Amino acid sequence: MPVEPEPSPWVFPSRTELAALPVLDDPEEYDDADEGDGTHDGSDLVAVGADLAPGTLLAAYRSGLFPMPEGRAIGWWSPAYRGVLRLDELRVSRSLRRSARDFEVRVDTAFDEVVAACADPRRPHGWIDARIARAYGDLHRLGWAHSVETWRDGRLVGGLYGVAIGGLFAGESMFHHVTDASKVALIGLVEGLRADADGAAGNRLVDVQWATRHLMGLGVREIPRASYLAALEGLLEVPPAPLWDG
């Protein structure tokens, strides 16, 4: 079981307060070479400040927030339209299913390496800095943050990482060095999350933050912020997936 850290001294808006926030409808275009392109609404950023201690991060996710740097400070985001993937809605084409046979999927064997690859400064719109990498490394060593990796011929070629709390997997970033490697990591994640009764019953959800074009092709959909927050309480009560048992 993951280790509960010291509680955060910071207070975040409640889920009720976040659900009541207006949608400003002032989108900012966003492109990412691995994740496609999408739109950020002007009301997605809801707070700035605090720290990245493990207790602060967990409090944020439990409230429906996630961090991304905002200049030298930390911004806390709750998208007006959240990108989510229901486990029974993953779309895998025949060609992708064939491609998946060429990879080995592993869990939590190279977490720091996955974060470092996602943080590669050569990637456009990179946002993972040393503070973020260190914070999620700490969360990983407490048992809350996880990586799903794709390997080929003994070499790490793709993967993703995120935070697992109950039935929620809050995806943070993904990367690939060869075609389909990140998509196969997502397939491995979903198949692992739905392998037991709780997953098969639809009690788990993958949160991808924003529904980019790349991810929508795999079955990701947008739901309003209030709908995401309403579902969050139940998700947090679901037992952790056996996928994370090591």
Report pLDDT digits (tens) over 58-94.
Answer: 999 999 999 999 888 999 999 999 999 999 999 999 9
219 DSSP 8-state letter = T
Distance from C-alpha of 93 to C-alpha of 70, rounded to nearest angstrom: 37
State the average pLDDT over residues 144-169.
Answer: 98
State the average pLDDT over residues 133-155.
Answer: 98
Query: Cβ contacts of residue 129 below 8 Å, gap of 6+?
Result: 69, 119
Nearest Cα to 145, choosing from 164, 160, 130, 132?
A: 164
State the average pLDDT over residues 177-205.
Answer: 97
Distance from C-alpha of 139 to C-alpha of 164, rounded to nearest angstrom: 10
For the chain, the 3-state helix, strand and coil shares in percent, each to the nearest 5, are: 35, 30, 40
Q: Are 194 and 204 in contact (CB under 8 A)?
A: yes
**Residue 219 half-sphere exposure toward CB, CA atoms < 13 A:** 16
**Residue 95's pLDDT band (cuts 50, 70, 90):** very high
Distance from C-alpha of 6 to C-alpha of 53, rounded to nearest angstrom: 9
**Residue 42's pLDDT band (cuts 50, 70, 90):** low
Whole-model pTM over 0.85: yes
Distance from C-alpha of 168 to C-alpha of 205, rounded to nearest angstrom: 5
Tell me what percent of the residues of the chain surpass a pLDDT of 90: 85
Task: Output the six-digit token pair for 67.
Answer: 């961090």
